[in-house]
Structure 1
Amino acid sequence: MKLLLILDSVEYPLAPNPVLARRVAACLVQRGHAVDLLELWDGETPPPSVPGCRQFPLAFADEREMNRALEFGQSGGTPVPLRLARLCRRPSAALAAVRQLALKRPRRVTAARREIERLDRLCHYDAAVAVAAPYAGSFALAGAAFGGRKASWQMDPYAANRSYAAPGAWKKELELGRSMDHIFTAPTAAGDFAPGAPLAALAAKMQVVDFPGLVPPTAQSKPVPGAPLRCVFAGSLYPQLRTPHFALELFAALDLTDVQLSFLGGGWQNYPACLLPPYYDILGDRLTVAGPVPPSQAAAALAGADVLLSLGNGVDNQVPSKLFDYLASGKPILHLAKLQSDPCLAYLEKWPLACIVQESEGVTPQVLARVCAFLREKGRLRLPFAEAARLYPENTPEHAVSLFERAFAAP
């Protein structure tokens, strides 16, 4: 097959969805398919190359500057008049805002649509797959004159996303789906296509494709007997979706002198400055908060960790893709769930080296004893990658490739 994958990293250059799609692209090439990547990027952080794939980068520095000036539309932060004043000092960013917010014709969609059409005239693809979220690539593909099959790979929901109000909501998602030949969606979104659900009319086009995040780790450190036990969280934090409060409370209550807790990743600006000092007073240098770090540093921290800390989302229709990097490492996972319906539980209940604590349990003597026993008994154990692949075969890139091959080969 000759395929075009459309990836979008404009808002978040290190976003996981393009990373997962590139893994699948590499696997497609290994299986003998020709794959081109249309990379929508921010004009500042070039997307990485993928062996065997041709890349066609399309930069949107204007939208990057718009997002920064407007602080991504997040509540709190700089007052709106000051954000608008900042925007007006950047003419290209201001024009991008007019196109997106006033005219409802974001340049990313219109420019990507033209590039899809240009590439198809040159290459005559069998199919194109737009990876979402973000959904700009999907909407661009929907409106493009394209000779092959069109597919939207929806790793994150659109109308059902509870982190923001999607423009047009279900009506717009239905229109998008009707323009596609295939819709690939995460297991947590499959219910939206059930009888009586908002997307039931698209059920015949829908195929569940789980996150293809399970790949062998590039490097791993060996446990060091007698050394402090290193517990590491690597990921982004949010005001409500994913928060560190319960983890801090739990480790402060444990107060184990030979256990270290490290956070790597952004989002701490969402919390008051008074959050961390009480925990530093208790844990001292056993607590590290690094903030945003380069991917190589985050990978090194995960490779050197003994126990991986997983923070559950505050919604039940999104799974943090980082979970599959954790599972691939073969290491113990301490998961702190916000919800009884946390979708991570379906995966972690199969993992022999998992300890699951519900926030609703609180920091009780029973919880502390359970977590302490887990850290002592399993904190330095490892499972081979082959065991993770056996337990989660649907989360390998090879499985996603097989689903794509069957879908695009069908009449």
Structure 2
Amino acid sequence: MSAASSALSTYRRIFAEAPGSLAFSAAGFIARMPMSMVGIGMVTMLSSLRGDYALGGAVSATMALAAALLGPQVARLVDRYGQSRIALRATGVTVAAMGALLLCAAFGAPDWTLFVCALVVGCMPAMGSLVRARWAHLYQGSPLLHTAYSFESVVDEIVFIVGPILAVGLSTSWFPEAGPLLATVLLAVGTLLFCAQGRTEPPVHPHAHASGSSALRTRGLLVLVITFVGTGAVFGSVEVTTVAFADHLHHKALSSVVLAVYALGSCIAGIVFGALELKGPLSRRFLVGIITLAVSMLPLLFVKNLVALAAALFVAGLSISPTMVTTMGLVERIVPPAKLTEGMTWTTTGLAVGVAFGSSAAGWVVDAAGASAGYWVTVAAAALSVVTAFLGSRRLRSAPEQQEGARVESDDPARPVEQLGR
């Protein structure tokens, strides 16, 4: 009981010592709901309307690839011109494109119209990066930043618990377009509420971008991005294959519950991880996390029913949140503050590219070889992550130390924790 109280006290501190943090975090939660709803909602919608998992996976993959291309550019504009100014405009474009896509799907427009709309949906701002950039602005250099990142990782997992249930549940029990439609509404409302929290918005750094150099050129960041391509393929293939596997067993609606159990494992791990005071290099923790994630995917090859699948996914989920928290900690450590949002978005871009390939490949394998065969894509993607992380481990070990001088000389204003009187 004392351990639970200690953990709760640790999480309370991150809000108590930073006025306004609860408001932007709550708004960010609403705005992030679409990231767990759009992909699986698109697969569910198009498989119901047109009976084609491959089409649903391809449209979902197109969105992810578009986000990979456009997301870092939107994030770079955010760093240069401010969160509210850019996020509101990007969200407006996304909402319009998603509305057009749903109309095309509902009225039987040609398949190519779905892909055109999906490309524009890629303008969606990476709200998770924007939220974490605010925490970094508030707690840079403080141990509380680890707790804040862990909290946001838990929020992400809650999003992935609630989102698929809503998307699949609404699309299967109400009408096929209901899940993606709700995701669109939540994006609009959440972004508006988030951008209204002006006092916690990080400062802009227009002159830091005058050279035109990208955050991707930062030593070590490319290793994280490529590793996350494999990790994203794990996530994308698990989603598509789980829906198909449940459908094969005539329980398609339960796929959202199984995926929620997957996210629940990550959520629990994230809560515990955030309350720990860990020592040792972040690069080592990152490599251990990726290896653990890969090993935990192997049991998926042997499941025969939904109960066994849920149990296997719960165990697999335990490694996700700690790995994500460690990754964001590495990004915050190695990327200059003036390019932090872009740096974080590059990691989510890696995930998006991976999700695109993973969901598309899994959809193709499912259609060609059966539902459970899609989990071979998952295992192969996890192996790719391990190989990349291992080969790049030396660059990650050296990157934080090399960036310390750059951070000290940064044009970032006085640390906000000092402004808060700490």
Q: TM-score, normalised by structure 2?
A: 0.27
Q: In proportion to residue count, which structure has more helix?
A: 2
Where relative contact order (Cα < 8 A, 6+ residues apart) is larger, the structure is 2
Structure with larger Rg: 1
Q: TM-score, normalised by structure 1?
A: 0.27
Q: In proportion to residue count, which structure has more strand?
A: 1
